[in-house]
Chain A
Amino acid sequence: MIRVEDLHRAFGGQRVLRGLTLQVAPGEIMVVIGRSGGGKSVLLKHLLGLLRPDSGRVVVNGTDITHLRGPALDRIRERYGVVFQGGALFDSMSVFDNVAFPLREKTRLRSREITGRVEEKLDQVGLAGMGHKNPAEISGGMRKRVAIARALVTEPEVVFFDEPTTGLDPILVNTIHHLILGMHRKFRFTAVMVSHEIPEIFGIADRVAMLHDGVIVEQGTPDVIQGSANPIVQQFVRGDVEGALRPA
């Protein structure tokens, strides 16, 4: 379980998170929506221990990770899988080596077993036979799928997705959502996903939280969000130009 309590974080004078509170239950898919530049990636980086808050706490499975560092933090991260916004594939390695990397570095599996697992994962994301390619040679959609394969190959308990479908065509968006949903059914990980993909995410989220002005202004099941009386949420969900939200 992940609990975020009253998180504050500013960069210079810019207050990005302003007392954000959020809970993610074990095994659920929590989707965080909100405007570009609203601080969704910053929130994820706090959950990953990559950024430290000015005040507030992040608690993962009962451990307060806010001030944790070194091996203690690594023990939490060993249960994580992360899909970064740009994929963050290692461009000095082939697709296969990217997916194999966490297994090679973090486990004592034999090379035959690693090959088997990596090929299985690449197959699951629809990239069988692409292992020899370089990340630079493949399309954006493929890169995202490689990143998903790499994040899931260690069978993590918690998986973070930062805009896994942004910039992809509608068919690929649905493909990747199906992929995530299928993997979730199989492995029952907890998922925290940042996305703008409305209305598609309502089909895969267990709960949705809307981040606005540094706080969660509304959260609940997809039905609750879609029926929200909050004008900000309403406008965001409908994508209206006019309303409480102004173009940034």
Chain B
Amino acid sequence: MSEPAAPAPQALPVRLVGTVGAVTLDVMAALGRFGAFLGDAVAHLFIPPFKLRQLLDRIHFIGFRSLTIVILTGAFTGMVLGLQVFLTLSRFGSEAFLGPAVALTLIRELGPVLCALIVTGRAGSALTAEIGIMRISEQIDALTVMALNPTRYLVVPPIVAGLLTFPLMTALFDVVGIFGGYLVSVELLGLSSGTYFGEMQNFVDMTDIMTGFWKALSFGVIVSWVCTYKGFHCGHGAEGVARATTQAVVLSSVLILVWDYFLGSVLP
């Protein structure tokens, strides 16, 4: 049994170029796998049979079970906004614009982003861990050898559930947040309720709401895509699952913020 001969030592610049090239190829291959993973899932969106029970379960898991935390953070975000923006605007004597300021901030920006970040922590991490454990305990292999496509059972349902639930949760977050702002500015700080809601109707229009909607929709895909991908491709053992979970949360959060900036600059 002969071992392959070690390659002759090369000059430093050559090795450097080689290393950079190898890293680039690795990154490109990983990006390719990441994209192909979503492509595969999208293809299975249109190929029956559809797994309705799994979908309902994921809607329950991602959407329904996140309601408490969404309401809680929505309320406090609105209250903090109400307080801080009131303090700022009152310096200019323009408290009248508090309503639209709170509403626009929530609807265009904070609602979709904070909601997505919180659901990533609450449901995305659990999604990665669950799929990762299925991977290391060979449950995904078991599905595969039963001639059942794991993508259909484990990836498509969370992505569809993300698409459906993120806009709804974001809407809830916005509404609760606006009432949180109302609570602080009207009930505590003495702004008139007519001013708070009246000016809101004047300044918030449909394009703002659509901006928030598109953001929420795309965050739903990003979170479920990243979290299922990381679970699917996790390493060995408990450590592999732990690392995949961390990576899923970090990558989802970063992508949410980057994509938010991008959409913010292209959408009206």
Contact = CB atoms under 8 A, between A and B. Distances in A.
User: Per DSSP, are chain B's interface residues mostly helix, strand or loop, or mixed?
Assistant: helix
Interface string A195-218: 000000000000000000000000
Nearest to A89: B139
Nearest to A73: B147
A62 to B, nearest CB: 19
B139 A82 contact: no
From B134, B139, B145, B147, name the one whose CB has the most chain A CB atoms within 10 angstroms.
B145
Contacts of A91: 133, 137, 139
Category for how many chain B residues contact A: 10 to 19
B148 interface: yes
B138 A86 contact: yes
A50 B148 contact: no
A84 interface: yes
A230 to B, nearest CB: 18
Contact of A77 (B133, B134, B139, B147): B147
A82 B133 CA distance: 19
Contact of B138 (A80, A85, A101): A85
Contact of B146 (A45, A49, A106): A106
Contacts of B147: 74-75, 77-78, 106
B142 A82 contact: yes
B141 interface: yes
Interface of B: 133-134, 137-139, 141-142, 144-148
Interface of A: 45, 48-50, 74-75, 77-78, 80, 82, 84-86, 88-91, 101-102, 105-106
14 contacts: A45-B141, A48-B141, A48-B145, A75-B147, A77-B144, A77-B146, A77-B147, A84-B138, A84-B142, A85-B138, A88-B138, A88-B139, A88-B142, A106-B146
